[in-house]
Structures are given as structure tokens and as C-alpha cells.
Amino acid sequence: MTDELIAISILWGFIFIYAVMATMDFGAGFWSMIYINRQQTNATKIANRYLSPTWEVTNVFIVAIVVALFSFFPRATFILGTVLLIPGSIILLLLAIRSAFLVFAHMAPTYEKVLTYISGVSGILIPALLISVLPITHGEFIETIDGVSRLRLDRLFTSPHEYAFIGFAIASTLFLSSLLLADYSNYADEMEAYQVYRRDALMVGPIAFIMSLLIMVTMRNEARWLYDGMMDYLPWLIASVIMFLVAGAALFLPSMKHKGRKGMPRLAVIAIVLQYFFASYAYGKAHLPYMIYPDVTIQSGFTHPNTFRALFITYIVGFIILFPGFIYFWRLFMKDRRYLQQEKQK
């Protein structure tokens, strides 16, 4: 593997982890807004209990992505930074308001309603804006005149391709988060909440799937090079579809652990994460060597080799130091039944 490939794999790894964590984060905010007036189920509480400790960690991944991008691919950052000024700034403003209110609601419960609406609405807007970076890298919306790149917002927002991505982002956010919350509430033995989120996942899942097909259809017209590339990885796409079907089946099969309970949400979560992983692998491989089509490739945008080597060493050291911290965090908030079931104890 060349240095460039290692670097782009690390970057893609960060993006994938962030995408999964963030869709759950943003989606949890949306669901707690939807179920705010249904006090009989614990659906909102479950969502908030997941959200409270995780958002800070999720937030770090955004910065990690940006840092990995400009340290590995300074040239690509130059162009992306230039064209993303407006959408990037809007994302930043939304994120700032959202995270501030997440903390404030914990400290001052009186503001809880305001928080819930802010985090619910931003939970839909932010993923829609974030995913737009992908169609922008397909190149057709960037115009370069006299060496100055700029984003043609008019072309972007009249393109069916862009809207397919936006629809996909929103549907995926709701799908992944409802699925994870179903698993989370199942683990906490919150049956009512589990039923609610399982039903939501079954509803949104097919929509997310249709949206991904729409992306392919519009891509065929608007980014043919990428479409052809993805077709070379057809087996990966088929595997992705199979995982989607596995997840669907897992939600209907009877639970093996608990008699009389319908569905194996943990299996469904794993299958769906694999589904997205396979599809994003095919997308990413087809996208190479271009970072921004057709001007920037991973080779032309690459950092200085000495810097890459130094960075790579810090990645290994950083990983060794942080890994136990992540495990501990996971055990405290995802596995500890005292935390998951705190309502019942009271």
C-alpha cells in the first residue's frame, strides 16, 4: 500500500466512524423531539440518555476529520476550504448552537423543550448539509476561473443528484438512529420504547434504501465516471443489499435470548453497519484516485512524505493511548445496566 492509500484509508475510516456516530447522535435528537409529548413511553428519555454523554466525543471526530484532511492532503483542503466557505460556515453555526444547548439542558432542565426542538431540527439540517460535500467532490459544481475555484450554488441546488444525497442523508440518519435506539432500549428492557423504535426502523429503512437507489440513478446522468467505477465493484454493492435484507429479517425473527420478544436488534445494527460499510467501500474505491474530480487526486494533493511519516507514528501512539479510554467509556454508557435502567431504580 502506498503512503497515499494509507492516508486516504485513515481519512475514510474517520469519516465512516463519524458518519455512523453522527447519524445516531443527530437522529436521537430528532426522535426525542418527535416523542416529546408521549410521556407514557420512555422513548425520549432513552434517546437523551444515549445522546448526553456521546455528543462531545462525536464532536471531536469532526475536528479529527478536518485535521486528517489538511495534514494528509493540503492541496485538496485548499480547494475544499475555498469552495465550502458558505456551507461549511452554516454547518459550524448549527453545530455550535446545538452542542451549547445540549449542555445547557443538562444543567438547566427548564430549557429542555427549547433544547429538544433545536437539537431535533438541527439533527435533520446538519446531515443534509454535511453529505453535500460528497456530490461537490464529484466536480460538476466547482467552477474554476483564472485559478480561483468557486462553488456554483445555483447548479448544486438544481441538481437531482444533490437532492438524492440529501434525501439519503436524512433517511439514513433516522434509520440508523432508530435501529440503534431499538437495540439500546431492548438492552435496557424498555419494551415500549423498543416497539416504537423498531417500528420506526421498519418504516424508514426502505425509504433509505430507495434513496440510495436514487443516488445511483442520478449519478449515472451526472457523474458517469463514478457510476462506471462503482459498477466495477458490483459484488460489494450486492453484499450491501444482502446485509440490508439480513437486518430486515433480524427485526422479524423471534429473539433467542428472551422468549416472546420479536426481533434481534443487535444483529440488525451489525448488519446495517456492514451494509453501509460495503456500499461506502465501493463508492470510495470508485472515487479513487480523485479527491475532487478532475483536478485533485490523492497523489497531487498529498502532504510532504516526512510529515506523513511523523503523523503516522503519532497515529499509532495516539491509538494505543486512547483505546483503553474508549473501552472504558463504552462500558460505562453502552453496557452498564445501572446507567441504562436508571429510571427503574428510582
Partner 1 sequence: MDHLLTARSLFGTTMAFHIIFATLGVGIPLMVLFAELLYQKTKDRDYAIMANRWTKGFAILLGIAIPSGTIAGVQLSLLWPGFMEVIGKVMSLPFQIEIYAFFVEALFMSIYVYAADRIAPWMRILSVTLVAIGAMASAILITNVHAFEGTPAGFRIENGEIVDVDPWAAFFNPSFVVTATHVVLSAFMTGAFVIASIAAYKMLRTHNHKRLYSFHRKALMLGLTVGGIFSLLTAMNGHESAQLLHEYQPEKLAAAEGLFETQSHAPLAIGGYTDRETQSVKWAIEIPWLLSFLAGNSFDTVVVGLNDFPEEWWPPLFVHTLFNAMVGIGMLLLLLSIIGFVWNKVLKRKEFPRWFMWPVISAGPLAMLGIEFGWIFACTGRQPWVIYRMMKTEEAVTQSTNLGTLFILFTIVYIFLFIAVVLVFKHYFGRHPVENELDKHQNHSLLV
117 or 339: CB nearest partner 1: 339
Answer for which of 36, 88, 210, 214 binds partner 1 (CB under 8 A) is 88
Examine residue 127 and say whether the peptide bond preceding it is cis (omega within 30 degrees of 0).
Answer: no
**Please, how many CA atoms are within 13 Å of residue 28, restricted to the half-sphere of its CB?**
26
Our finding on whether 99 is near partner 1 (CB under 8 A) is: yes
Rounded Cα–Cα distance for residues 255 and 252 (Å):
9
Q: With binding defined as CB under 8 A, does residue 149 bind partner 1?
A: yes
User: Does residue 329 touch partner 1 according to CB under 8 A?
Assistant: yes
- Residue numbers 189-228 binding partner 1 by CB under 8 A: none
Q: Which of 153, 231, 238, 332 binds partner 1 (CB under 8 A)?
A: 332
> Contacts with partner 1 in 51-80 (CB under 8 A)?
52-54, 56-57, 59-60, 62-64, 66-75, 77-80
- Residues 259, 265, 270: CA angle, nearest 5 degrees: 135
Judged by CB under 8 A, the residue of 257, 259, 304, 346 near partner 1 is 304
Residue closer to partner 1 (CB basis): 5 or 93: 93
Nearest distance in Å: CB 196, partner 1 = 24
Nearer to partner 1, 252 or 319 (CB): 319
Q: 53 or 289, CB closer to partner 1?
A: 53
ω into residue 289 within 30 of 0, thus cis?
Answer: yes
For partner 1, which is the closer residue by CB, 1 or 320?
Answer: 320
Determine if 157 is a binding residue for partner 1 (CB under 8 A). Answer: no
Q: Should residue 314 be labelled a site residue for partner 1 when binding is judged by CB under 8 A?
A: yes
Q: What is the b/e burial string over 147-172, where b = at least 16 CB atoms within 10 angstroms of the residue's CB?
A: eebebeeeebeebebbbbbbbbbbbb
Q: Which run of H or E residues covers position 163?
A: helix 160-187
SS3 290: strand
Closest alpha carbon to 126 in 103, 106, 96, 104: 96
Q: Select the span of 125-133, 177-185, 280-288, 317-325 touching partner 1 (CB under 8 A).
A: 317-325
- HSE-CB at 100 with a 13 A cutoff on CA atoms is 6
332: DSSP letter: I
Question: Smallest distance from the beta carbon of 144 to partner 1, in angstroms?
Answer: 10
- Residue 298 CB partners (closer than 8 Å, separation 6+): 4, 5, 7, 8, 73, 288, 289, 290, 291
**Size of site (CB under 8 A) for partner 1:** 71
If one asks whether residue 16 binds partner 1 (CB under 8 A), the answer comes out as no
Does an H or E element contain 105, and which?
helix 85-107
- Choose between 42 and 212: whose C-beta lies nearer to partner 1: 42
Residue among 193, 197, 329, 325 at smallest CA distance from 251? 197
Of the candidates 143, 228, 232, 336, which one interacts with partner 1 according to CB under 8 A? 336
d(CA 147, CA 216): 31
282 or 296, CB closer to partner 1?
Answer: 296
Q: H-type helices in 188-304, by residue range?
A: 191-222, 224-231, 234-252, 265-287
Cell readout for 312 is 503516522
CB of 149 to partner 1, least distance (A): 8
Binds partner 1 by CB under 8 A, chosen from 9, 89, 221, 299: 89
Using CB under 8 A as the binding rule, the residues of this chain from 102 to 131 that contact partner 1 are 102-104, 106-108, 110-111
> Residues 240 to 279: which contact partner 1 by CB under 8 A?
none
What minimum distance in Å lies between the beta carbon of 110 and partner 1? 7
* 263 touches 256 (CB < 8 A): no
- The grid coordinates of residue 7 equal 492516508
For residue 191, the minimal CB distance to partner 1 (Å) is 24
